[in-house]
Amino acid sequence: MKHWLMKSEPDVFSLDRLETLGTSLWDGVRNYQARNFMMKDMKVGDRILFYHSSCEPPGVAGLARVCGLAEPDPSQFDKKSEYYEPKATREKPIWHCVRVEFEKRFRRFVALDELRDEEALKEMLVLKKGQRLSIQPVTAAEFAKVVKMGGRA
DNA sequence: GCCAACGTTGGC
DNA sequence: GCCAACGTTGGC
């Protein structure tokens, strides 16, 4: 089982929204590296740090899990979607996404600043300058540390 | 296949 | 709103 950090702007899609829905496709990813993680590496049961970006404060709001293997991202076929991809066809889709399910909200939101203050997390990709990948692998130790900081050990 | 220009991300 | 960093695009 692998561990991941997945970024979302809460104004667009928040952990609250995922809790309401129960599960959701992680659609709209338009970066090849992030797509390849979803297509090749993510398996059902993989655990996810749900990270809120472009908000005040940014940080990890809680946990989710992969509950469905990658499938074609339907938004690439939707002309009205901002994620529409004219080069994609049903036969040859370009973008794929996994399905994720809500797991739990942290008792305490773990802000980016707090992550920065932890020696044990200094190698976390999300803390690296210029690192803007929206889906990032996280080690089991980093995952456990963040969960502990969130008050749900 | 290089690389300049451009667009996007995301913290600040 | 700024801007550094980085990914993508497209001319050559």
- Digit-coded pLDDT (tens) for A82-112: 899 988 889 889 999 999 999 999 999 999 9
Arithmetic mean of pLDDT, A71-76: 95
Structure tokens at A43: 């398996």
Note whether A46 and A143 are within 8 A (CB).
no
- CB count within 10 Å of CB A84 equals 12
Q: How far apart are CA A70 and CA A66, in angstroms?
A: 10
Q: Sketch the domain layout of chain A as residue ranges.
A: 3-149
Assess whether A31 (CB) lies less than 7 A from strand C. Answer: yes
Residue type for position A25: L
Per-residue confidence (pLDDT) for residue A152, from 0 to 100: 55
Q: Please state, for a pLDDT cut of 70, what percent of chain A lies above it.
A: 99
Per-residue confidence (pLDDT) for residue A79, from 0 to 100: 86
In tens, the pLDDT along A19-64 reads 999 999 999 999 999 999 999 999 999 999 999 999 999 999 999 9
Assess whether A58 (CB) lies less than 7 A from strand B. Answer: yes
Find and list the nucleotides of strand B having atoms within 7 Å of a protein beta carbon.
8-12
Q: How far apart are CA A83 and CA A60, in angstroms?
A: 25
Q: Please state, for a pLDDT cut of 90, what percent of chain A lies above it.
A: 88
| Interatomic CA–C1' length for residue A91 and nucleotide C3, angstroms | 41
Question: What is the CATH T-level fold of the domain A3-149, as seen in this structure?
Answer: ph1033 like fold (3.10.590)
Among A149, A151, A74, CA closest to A119 = A149
For chain A, how big is the Rg over CA atoms in Å? Answer: 15
